[in-house]
């Protein structure tokens, strides 16, 4: 569903991402681990065609995102690191707005249903987002993904800034989405949760994807060891 072929991004002489090759299937959760500046956000932005690749290409459902950015985006959902929907709108109004931008109209009860599926009760749905926590705003974004019937989800450090309970809840929701066949690419520092929810984790450093490991074959402690080892190389 998500595919990178020799995907690279340079800023002048500086290489933000170098020769990334990656393929994420429908229903698979792939976690990108890496320190700040490793190139995780760059990867996600390349899939969204927010930036143009210097080399290689990113594909969504077999379609090059540079050639057909709108079609590719129509299949994607994105939750940025600093997730912000419109403060002045309520949760349900936000959901309605973004769904309509994506070309979909849902009735009020449907919208509320999507929000409750991601754990946002109706009472909260009718409050302005200005009063929401980060976790609640992320839920609105997940509801947007649901309403859109996105085939792939791009997440940038979703658990940073969440309290542990909210983070667990969120990870749970991601698992549910994956079970429905959504391909998920998640950039994170949180390697325990990455191991928990991810089918594979990739370790990234200075624009290079150094190693990819299936989570089923590695314990949390070993993953941490492996990660730190790469960081110190």
User: Alpha helix (H) ranges present in 18-121?
Assistant: 40-48, 69-74, 91-101, 108-117
Instruction: Pick one of ligand ADP, other proteins, Mg ion, none as the site partner of residue 80 (Cβ within 5 to 8 A by kind).
Output: other proteins
Cα distances (Å, whole numbers) of residue 110 to 62, 97, 143, 182: 30, 14, 11, 20
Residues 2-41, interacting with other proteins (CB under 8 A)? 11, 14, 35-38, 41
Which CB sits closer to Mg ion, 148 or 205?
205
CA-based nearest residue to 40, from 207, 215, 226 = 207
Considering the complex, what minimum distance in angstroms separates the CB of residue 73 from ligand ADP? 19
Binding to ligand ADP by CB under 6 A, coded x per residue (else -) over 25-54, reads ---------x-xxxxxxx------------
Using the CB atoms, write b or e for 175-208: b if 16+ within 10 Å: eebbeeebbbbbbbbbbebbbbbbbbbbbbbebb
185 forms bridges with which residues in the sheet?
A: 30, 154
Residue of 16, 173, 177, 184 that binds ligand ADP (CB under 6 A):
16
Chain residues that interact with other proteins, rule: CB under 8 A? 11, 14, 35-38, 41, 45, 48, 50-52, 69-78, 80-89, 93, 97-98, 100-103, 105, 128, 141, 144, 148, 159, 164, 167, 189-192, 206, 224, 227-228, 231-232
């Amino acid at each position: 569903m998500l595919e990178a072929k020799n995907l690279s991004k340079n800023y002048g002489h500086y290489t933000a991402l170098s020769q990334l090759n990656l393929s994420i299937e429908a229903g698979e959760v792939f976690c990108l681990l890496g320190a700040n500046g490793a190139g995780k956000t760059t990867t996600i932005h390349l899939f969204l065609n927010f930036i143009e690749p210097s080399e290689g290409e990113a594909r969504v459902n077999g379609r090059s995102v540079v050639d057909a950015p709108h079609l590719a985006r129509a299949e994607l959902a994105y939750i940025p690191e600093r997730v912000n929907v419109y403060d002045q709108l309520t949760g349900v109004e936000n959901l309605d707005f973004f769904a309509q931008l994506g070309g979909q109209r849902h009735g009020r009860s449907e919208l509320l249903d999507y929000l409750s599926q991601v754990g946002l009760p109706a009472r909260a749905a009718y409050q302005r987002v200005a009063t929401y926590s980060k976790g609640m705003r992320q839920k609105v974004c997940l509801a947007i993904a649901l309403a859109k019937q996105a085939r792939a989800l791009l997440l940038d450090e979703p658990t940073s800034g969440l309290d542990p309970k909210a983070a667990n809840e969120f990870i749970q929701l991601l698992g549910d989405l994956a079970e429905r066949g959504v391909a998920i690419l998640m950039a994170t520092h949180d390697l325990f949760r990455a191991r928990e929810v991810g089918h594979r984790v990739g370790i990234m450093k200075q624009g290079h994807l150094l190693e990819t490991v299936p989570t089923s074959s590695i314990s949390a402690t070993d993953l941490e060891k492996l990660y730190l080892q790469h960081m110190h190389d």
